[in-house]
Amino acid sequence: MNQIGPYTLKNNLFLAPMVGVSDTPFREICTQQGAGLTIAEMLTSNRELWQNERNKLKQIKPQTGGPHVVQIAGSDPLQMADAALSNQELGADAIDINMGCPAKKVLKKAAGSALLRDTKLVTCILQAIVSKIDIPVTLKIRTGWCPNTRNGIEIALIAEDCGIQLLTVHGRTKECRFKGDAEYDTIAAIKQAVKIPVIANGDIDSPKKAAQVLAHTKADGLMIGRGAQGKPWIFKEIEHFLRTGTKLDKMKLFQQLGVISSHLKKLHQFYGDKKGVWYARKHVSIYVKELTSSREFMAEFNRVNNPEQQLDQLEKYFAHLVGIPTINQPKELGEIAA
């Protein structure tokens, strides 16, 4: 499944819309590292809040060449339809509807996964949005509200009937949040029940796991969230494994440095020097958490307050990891696997 409406995708590996993570810079990095589609961070359907700087940034289209998918959340059908139309007018190529978020602040507004308890409201929202816009509409859900009320198949059938063109299913209920292991039996059952493409999501953190989930669910593609944090090259690894049955060579340290540095530069440019430095700290801490002396490095890195110093600190750290004085010898770095 490499198609959404009129858009042809390079593969069926998607980046999940994670709030505070899947911003425009990270979407661009993940696309460069092999993702076939990325979805923007969840955006409220309340347009009165769009003047907030953070919400404005969520609507900026990445420079990736692929379709720009904006995800909206809310519980009022008319408000959500208007939000979808506004995003279409602002340049969105597709709209994704959030019916999977388990966050308390979202649930308090009867949005996200709270909607799974009200199939009539689900129908009203989907019909309102699909009838309002001309671009493809997709939907992201969980398997149900709680393990005793898994109604993913019912929601999927409603979605298909309403004109949803693609469905992503996270293999947990709202009650499960991100605890325990994702279950894929419900995703497999949903895939069998509908004709629209189904994307499997949840705990996909390696090429082997990706192949297992596809084999078990017969899904049309995979969505990767937390597995891509600090490791955006997971998309290349999975794509290679699914295509060849062999593991891609592990990324060398100098290659990792190249990706991380590129990500930091995008963050600095996108958010500006001050906020770019703040966001870079969070991402770098995840990139390096399994590397030698990462805690000591982050203690120093977090004291730095400008982009140039961040990039310099990062370069010195990676040079230290491979025991050379500078990072200007990629061949030497390449000889030492990460």
From 189, 217, 244, the end of a domain falls on 244
Euclidean distance between CA atoms 72 and 80, whole angstroms: 7
Beta-carbon count within 10 A of 274 CB: 11
Q: What is the pLDDT of residue 245?
A: 95
At 131, which helix (H) or strand (E)?
A: helix 119-132
Are 133 and 270 members of one domain? no
Collapsed DSSP state (helix, strand, coil) of residue 91 = coil
Q: For 170-202, what is each residue's pLDDT tens digit? A: 998 877 667 778 999 999 999 999 999 999 999
Which one of the listed residues 101, 124, 162, 176 is annotated catalytic?
101
Nearest of 45, 5, 238 to residue 138 by alpha carbon:
5
DSSP state, 75? S
Are 87 and 130 members of one domain? yes
Are 266 and 238 members of one domain? no
One-character DSSP codes across 230-286: T-TTHHHHHHHHHHHSSPPPPPBHHHHHHHHHHHHHHHHHHH-HHHHHHHHHHHHHH
The single residue listed with the structure tokens 């770019």 is 276
Are 264 and 224 members of one domain? no
Beta-carbon count within 10 A of 85 CB: 17
Euclidean distance between CA atoms 20 and 246, whole angstroms: 33
Is 267:280 a contact under the CB 8 Å cutoff? Answer: yes
CATH number assigned to the domain comprising residue 105:
3.20.20.70
**Residue 20 — φ and ψ, nearest 5°?**
80, 0
From 210, 244, 278, the end of a domain falls on 244
Q: How confident is the model at residue 155 (pLDDT cuts 50, 70, 90)?
A: very high
From 244, 261, 279, the end of a domain falls on 244
Are 199 and 63 members of one domain? yes
Nearest of 138, 69, 146 to residue 107 by alpha carbon:
146
44-72: average pLDDT: 90
Q: What is the pLDDT of residue 338?
A: 35
At 98, which helix (H) or strand (E)?
A: strand 94-99
Are 235 and 299 members of one domain? no
Are 109 and 141 members of one domain? yes
Are 59 and 154 members of one domain? yes
Question: Number of structural domains, the chain?
Answer: 2
Are 236 and 278 members of one domain? no
Give the pTM.
0.91
Domain housing 119 = 3-244
- List residues bridging with 222 in a β-sheet: 13, 200
Angle CA(169)–CA(60)–CA(274) in degrees, nearest 5?
110
Q: For 118-148, what is each residue's pLDDT tens digit? A: 999 999 999 999 999 999 999 999 988 777 8
Q: What is the pLDDT of residue 103?
A: 67
Which residues, at least 6 apart from 67, have a Cβ–Cβ distance to it below 8 Å? 4, 7, 9, 37, 93, 94
- List residues bridging with 198 in a β-sheet: 167
Catalytic residue flag (residue 176): no
104-117: average pLDDT: 74
**Residue 209 — φ and ψ, nearest 5°?**
-65, -40
C-alpha dist (Å) from residue 273 to 125, 246, 265: 40, 41, 10
Residue 333 has pLDDT above 80, yes or no: no
The single residue listed with the structure tokens 């996909």 is 204
Are 306 and 257 members of one domain? yes
Are 91 and 162 members of one domain? yes
Average pLDDT, the chain: 91
Euclidean distance between CA atoms 93 and 136, whole angstroms: 7
CA-based diameter of the chain, in Å? 64
Which residues, at least 6 apart from 108, have a Cβ–Cβ distance to it below 8 Å? none
Are 146 and 180 members of one domain? yes
The single residue listed with the structure tokens 């500078």 is 326
